[in-house]
Structure 1
Amino acid sequence: MIYNERLLFHTVTVPHNPPLRRRQSIDQPPIMRIVLLGKRVSENSRVGNFILGRAAFDSEAPPNFVERVVGRLKDRHVMVINSPQLLQQHLSLQHIVQTVKECLSLSDPGPHVIILLLKHDQCSTEDQECVEKVLHSFSERVYQHIMVITTQEPTETNEILQKIIQKCANRHFSLQRSSSHDDLLQMFEDIVQMNDGRHLVCAKFEASQYFTMKQQATAKFSEDMKLNLVMCGSDATLKSSISERILQQTERRSEVELHGRQINMVELPALFNTRLSEEEVMRQTLRCVSRCHPGVHVFLIIIPEAPLTDEEKAEMEEIQRIFSSRINKHIMILIIQNSEHQTAELNEETKTIIESFGGRHNFFGSTTQVCTLMEKIEQILEENRGGLFSTETFLEAQMKKLLKFEEMKKTDSPETHFLSKGNDHKVN
C-alpha cells in the first residue's frame, strides 16, 4: 500500500500541520511517555484512544498484550504504553513483575506519567491491595508520577477509591463525553513539571537481564539471547510456509528453539496494494516491531527466483521507504527457489534491487538446510555487533522525514505546495 506522507506522519507521530517546534526546556521532554494500567481491554482502549484522539487501540486485542502507540495530545508528542489487565486481582506476583518490566522496557528509559484506570462501583479493598502491589513493583517513588482516571459518574462516594486518589496527590480526571483534552494535558504537564521533566527511575530492575539487553546489544550476540526475525513480502502464503519451515514446526508457533537459540518469528503484513486503511497498516507495522523486544535483529524479505513482478518490487520499495534506509543493515533477501534445476544466477534487475538493500541474500530451495540460513543470519549479527532495529529507531526515522518535509514546505509557495500534494510519497 502506498502511503501519503502526511497521513503516514499523522498516523504515527504528529498531525499534518504541526506547529513550529519550540525549544524544549528541561521540564518538557520531547516525547511524554505514559503508561496506562487497567482491568479491561475495552476500557483501556477507550481511554488510550481519547488521549491520542484516534482509534489507536483495538478493543478486541488480547488482554495480556502490552502495546505501545505514539501520537499527539493537542500540541504534545506522547507515547502511550497500554497494559489492559495489570490491575486484575487474580494475577500472580511473578506475572505482575514480568508485565511491569515490559511496560518499563517499552517506555525506556522510563515513564513520565502512570495512569490508574479505576471505576467507582468496582473499587474494593482487594482492588486497593492489588493497586499497591502493582505500583510497588514499579518503584517506591511511583506516586510522584501517578494519576487516576475514572470513566463514570459516581452514584455514591467510594471511600476506597478516594483513598487511592488522595495517595496520588488528589490527581484525578473524570473522563466523560464533555471532557476536555486541554484539561487532561494540563494534568500530565503538571506531573512532568513537578518532577522537573524527569521520568520514573526503577532501580530495582536496572541490574536484571531484561534491562541489560540494550547494553548487550553493543557486544557480541549472546548464544542464549532471543533472536527476533521479521518475515516480509507481498505473498502471505509464501511467508507463512517459509516461517513454518524455519521454525521446523508442523503446527505454527511464534517462538521455538532452533539451533540452540530461542527464535521469535513475526510476519509483517503486506504493505503495498492492501485493502487495509493507512492507519491500520501503520498500526500493524508498529505492532510488528514492538513484538520484537528489544528490537528486530533481521528482516527476511521473501522474493521468488523468477523476475520480480511490479507488485513485488513495489512491496520492497514500500518496506524501505517506511522503515528508512536504516533498515538495510538488518536485511536478508531470501530468494525462494521452486525449480528442480536450481541455480545461483539472478537477472540484472533483481541484482540491482538486492544491492539497494545492502546486498545480503541467500537462496532457499526445497533442499536447503535451515542451518545454512542460520549461519548467514549469524554473520549479520556479528556485523551489527548485536545491534537492533527498535521501535525507537523507527520513530526517529519518521521524525527525520517529518522535519525534512516541514523544511521543504517552508520553501514552497502555496501554489507549489498545492500542486505537489499528489507527490508526497516521494519524500524520503
Structure 2
Amino acid sequence: MNVPKPLRVVLLGKAGNGKSSLANTIFGNTVFKVSNFDSSFCVSESQTRQVNGKSLTLIDTPGLLAPDISEEDIKREMVRCITECSPGPHAVLIVLKVEKFTEHEQAVISQIYQHFSEEVLTHAVVVFTHGDQLPEGMTIQEYVNQSEGLSDLVQKCGGRCHVFDNRYWKNGEQDDYRSNKFQVTQLLNNIDDILRLNRGGHYTNSTLQEVEKEIQTEADRIRKSSRNMSNEDILKQAKLNTIKKHLEGGKKAWRWDFIGFGVLAGLAVIAAAWAC
C-alpha cells in the first residue's frame, strides 16, 4: 500500500505575527516552540503530522524584517527553509496580523518576492492571526476589502484568505466562522484548490530544481551503501551531505538567484545544526 507523501506548507511573515502558534493551531497540538519575544530569532523547522486525514509538513521560518537580526541570518535560514521543502512547497501561508496594512507589511511581502518571486502567489494563502481584533460580525474578506494593499495581495493569491486566533478561539464556544477548527477545515480545502489549480504540482524554480536533483543523487548513493537506513534518514543525510559538498568547494555553488550572492558561507551554521 502506497502511503501518500506529505503536503509541504511553508509559513512566511513578519516576526511576532504568530507563525509558530498558527502552525500549532493547525496541528491541534504544541509542536513548534513559541517565542514570547517578537524579535527573538529562531531557526527554520519542519514537522509532519496528520490533520483531518491529510499528512502535512509545516515548515516554520524566522520572522522576516525582524529587528536586530541581520539580513544575512535571515537569508541563511531561508536557504535552510528552501532545502527543507525541496523540491518545493505545495502551499505557502503568508501570515499577517489583523491590523493596519502599513509600508512595513508591504516590505515583508516584497521580501517574500525576493526570496521566491511573485509567482509563488499562485500557491499562496493569506492567513491572518489575532482574530479577536476583527470587528464583530465582520468576515476577513470584508476586512481585507477596506485596504487597497491587502485587497491587491489577496486578489493575487486567488482570493484565498483565512483568520485565526491562536489564543482565544481554542474552545468550541464560538460560532462557526470564529472557530479555529472551522478555519483549519477551510484552509485545507483551499490547499486542495491550490493543488487542483496547479495540477497537483508544487511551486518550483531553477534553484529548487537543482537542489532537488543533487539531493536525490546523493540519496541514491547513500541507499546503495547503507541498506539498513530508513528512507527518511537517507533523505536527511543526503541534504546534509549536499550542503557539506558545497561548503568544501568541491562543486560549483548553487545560483541563489532569489536571494542574491554571498549566502553560501552562512550554510556552515545550517550544517552544524543538522548534525546535532
TM-based fold match above 0.5: yes
CA deviations over 1:147-182 (Å, ceiling 9, x no partner): 111122435633322222122111101114213132
1:171-186 aligned within 5 A: 171-176=160-165, 177=169, 178-179=179-180, 180=182, 181-186=184-189
Cα separation, 2, equivalents of 1:127 and 1:89: 14
2: CA distance between counterparts of 1:223 and 1:128?
34
Give 1:195's aligned amino acid: N
Residue in structure 2 matched with residue 54 of structure 1 by the alignment: 29
Task: Identify if the C-alpha distance between structure 1 residues 201 and 222 changes in structure 2 by more than 3 Å, giving closer, same or farther.
Answer: closer
Matched, 1:111 2:89: yes
Instruction: Report how far residue 43 of structure 1 moved.
Output: 1.1
Hey, what does 1:199 align to over in structure 2? 202
Give yes or no for contact 2:6–2:57 (8 Å, CA) kept in 1.
Answer: yes
Verify the 8 A CA contact 1:42 1:59 in the aligned structure 2.
no
2:109 equivalent in structure 1: 131
Match of 2:19 among 29, 41, 44: 44
Would the alpha carbon gap of residues 35 and 264 (structure 1) be closer, same or farther in structure 2, given more than 3 Å must change? Answer: closer
For the residues of structure 1 that align with 2:5 and 2:218, how far apart are their CA atoms? 26
Report how many aligned residue pairs link the two structures.
Answer: 209
How far 1:47 sits from its partner (Å)? Answer: 0.6
Which amino acid letter does the alignment assign opposite residue 38 of structure 1? Answer: G
Match of 1:102 in 2: 80
Alignment of 1:229-248 (within 5 A): none
Alignment partner, residue 76 of structure 1: 54
Per-residue CA distance 1:188-242 (angstroms, 9 max, x = gap): 111111111111112145557x98466456499859549xxxxxxxxxxxxxxxx
Change (3 A) 1:263 1:76: closer
Q: Which AA in structure 2 matches 1:188?
A: I
Computing the radius of gyration from Cα coordinates, the structure with the larger value is: 1
Question: 1:150 — aligned with what?
Answer: 128
Q: Tell me: higher relative CO, structure 1 or 2? Use CA pairs within 8 A at least 6 residues apart.
A: 2
State whether residues 81 and 107 of structure 1, in contact with CA within 8 Å, keep that contact through their aligned partners in structure 2: yes
Residue 190 of structure 2 is aligned to residue 187 of structure 1:
yes
Q: Which amino acid aligns with 2:8?
A: R
Answer yes or no: is the 8 Å Cα contact 2:44–2:80 preserved in 1: yes
Partner SS for 1:34:
strand
CA RMSD of aligned residues (A): 3.6
Are the structure 2 counterparts of residues 193 and 88 from structure 1 closer, same or farther at C-alpha, using a change threshold of 3 Å? farther
User: Partners of 2:269 and 2:71 in 1: how far apart?
Assistant: 27
Tell me: CA distance 1:145–1:91, structure 2 relative to 1, closer, same or farther (3 Å): farther
Q: State the Cα distance separating 1:77 from its structure 2 match.
A: 0.3
Alpha-carbon distance in structure 2 between the residues aligned to 1:264 and 1:81: 15
In 1: Cα distance, 2:269 partner to 2:20 partner = 30
2:154 is the counterpart of 1:165: yes
Aligned-residue offset at 1:143 = 1.1
Same amino acid, percent of matched pairs: 23
Q: Using the alignment, how far apart are the partners of 2:271 and 2:107 within structure 1?
A: 38
Q: CA deviation at 1:34?
A: 0.4
Quick check: 1:88–1:130 contact (8 Å CA) kept in 2?
A: no
Mean Cα displacement is larger for which, 145-154 or 175-184? Answer: 175-184
Q: 1:263 to 1:30 in 2, by over 3 A?
A: closer
Confirm or deny: 8 A CA contact 1:89 1:126 kept in the other structure: no
Q: Specify the code of the residue in structure 2 equivalent to 1:173.
A: H
Listed one character per residue, the Cα deviations across residues 220-277 of structure 1 (whole Å, up to 9, x for unaligned) are: 9859549xxxxxxxxxxxxxxxxxxxxxxxxxxxxxxxxxxx79897xxxxxxxxxxx
TM-score by structure 1 length?
Answer: 0.42
**For the residues of structure 2 that align with 1:194 and 1:263, how far apart are their CA atoms?**
37
SS at match of 1:121: coil
CA deviations on 1:52-106 (whole Å, 9 max, x unpaired) are 1111111138523111111011100000000141254876664444333211111
Q: Any stretches of 5+ residues in structure 2 without a counterpart? A: 136-142, 170-178, 223-240, 250-267
Q: Do 1:38 and 1:117's aligned partners in 2 also have CA atoms closer than 8 Å? A: yes
Distance apart, 1:37 and its partner CA: 1.2
Distance 1:87 1:145, change over 3 A: farther
SS in 2 for 1:118: strand
Measured at CA, do residues 60 and 211 of structure 1 come closer, stay the same or move farther in structure 2, by a change above 3 Å?
A: farther
User: CA–CA distance in 2 between the matches of 1:197 and 1:90?
Assistant: 39
